[in-house]
Amino acid sequence: DGGITQSPKYLFRKEGQNVTLSCEQNLNHDAMYWYRQDPGQGLRLIYYSQIVNDFQKGDIAEGYSVSREKKESFPLTVTSAQKNPTAFYLCASSSRGNTEAFFGQGTRLTVV
């Protein structure tokens, strides 16, 4: 089945550690996105990529890094510089000109 897969579903991080969230899609979409969701707030864009080997910062990129070495994959690294990383992270993808962005099931990251 075509879709977007995020892993893991739950992730725990110790203070000062970097962690990487996985996002894979087999929809042949050019564009991929990472959003952060906090309670009572809408989704905020962290990074997005419109093509392989290229990506742009979103509204809250500080403390995060991404790579886009393959069309299918857009991993997000939450670095120790991100002071408040506990949140629900959502990955999405879309094709050029398409009206719909497809979302993964999310990864809930908790700092312990």
Partner 1 sequence: GEDVEQSLFLSVREGDSSVINCTYTDSSSTYLYWYKQEPGAGLQLLTYIFSNMDMKQDQRLTVLLNKKDKHLSLRIADTQTGDSAIYFCAESMKGGYNKLIFGAGTRLAVHP
Q: Which of 1, 84, 96, 112 binds partner 1 (CB under 8 A)?
A: 96
- For position 104 contacting partner 1 by CB under 8 A, the verdict is yes
User: What is the full DSSP assignment across 2-65?
Assistant: --EEEE-SEEEE-TT--EEEEEEE-S--SEEEEEEE-TTS-EEEEEEEEETTEEEE-TT-TTEE
- For position 42 contacting partner 1 by CB under 8 A, the verdict is yes
Q: Which of 15, 16, 97, 112 binds partner 1 (CB under 8 A)?
A: 97
Backbone angles phi, psi at 52, to 5 degrees: -55, 140
Q: Which is nearer to partner 1, 30 or 80 (CB)?
A: 30
Judged by CB under 8 A, the chain residues 62 through 81 that form the site for partner 1 are none
